[in-house]
């Protein structure tokens, strides 16, 4: 099975075109070597996908022909991504995508100083 099709089938990329572009740009590696979209994969291969400063590492457990429902994805790959990568992703989400409750207005100067102090103490 082609690697770009497999990445699309197991929902690591939204479209097959995006999967192929990622392979061409060097964001996908197969068994520690960069790969082309047409590269054939086999059971037991290790794939590393760079997704916006997040490296997801998976081991191929099953091959398939069509895109599958999200609940069936764990049957076809084993997630080998280190825990530190998920923690790094969560920290980046917190730092760059702050969320405030709706309809409470902008933070005051005091609130802003408290937010900045919190970020400095916890994320630097």
The pLDDT tens digits of the residues spanning 10-61 come to 999 999 999 999 999 999 999 989 999 999 999 999 999 998 778 999 999 9
pLDDT score at 67: 92
What does DSSP assign to residue 72?
Answer: G
pLDDT score at 96: 65
Looking at the structure, do residues 35 and 18 belong to the same domain, yes or no? Answer: yes
pLDDT score at 104: 83
Count Cβ atoms below 10 Å from residue 89 Cβ, excluding itself.
17
Looking at the structure, do residues 33 and 16 belong to the same domain, yes or no? Answer: yes
Number of domains in the chain: 2
Looking at the structure, do residues 55 and 77 belong to the same domain, yes or no? Answer: yes
Looking at the structure, do residues 33 and 93 belong to the same domain, yes or no? Answer: no
Q: Are 49 and 35 in contact, with CB atoms under 8 Å apart?
A: no
Looking at the structure, do residues 19 and 41 belong to the same domain, yes or no? Answer: yes
pLDDT score at 95: 67
CA–CA distance, 92 with 118 (Å, rounded to integer): 15
**What is the model's pTM?**
0.72
**Residue-range definition of the domain harbouring residue 71:** 1-81
Alpha helices in 10-108 (DSSP H): 16-24, 83-96
Q: If we measure between CA atoms, which residue out of 112, 96, 57, 62 comes closest to residue 79?
A: 57
CA–CA distance, 71 with 58 (Å, rounded to integer): 17
Looking at the structure, do residues 33 and 65 belong to the same domain, yes or no? Answer: yes
Pull the structure tokens for residue 30.
């197969």
Give kind and range of the element (H or E) at residue 25: none
């Amino acid at each position: 099975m082609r690697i770009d099709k497999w990445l699309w089938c197991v929902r690591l990329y939204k479209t097959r075109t995006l999967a192929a572009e990622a392979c061409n740009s060097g964001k996908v590696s197969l068994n520690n070597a960069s790969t082309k979209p047409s590269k054939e994969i086999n059971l037991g291969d290790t794939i590393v996908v760079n997704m916006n400063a997040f490296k997801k590492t998976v081991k191929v457990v099953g091959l398939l022909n069509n895109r599958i429902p999200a609940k069936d994805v764990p049957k076809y790959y084993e997630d080998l991504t280190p825990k530190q990568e998920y923690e790094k992703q969560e920290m980046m989400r917190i730092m760059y995508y702050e969320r405030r409750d709706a309809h409470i207005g902008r933070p005051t100067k005091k609130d802003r100083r408290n937010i900045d102090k919190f970020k400095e103490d916890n994320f630097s």
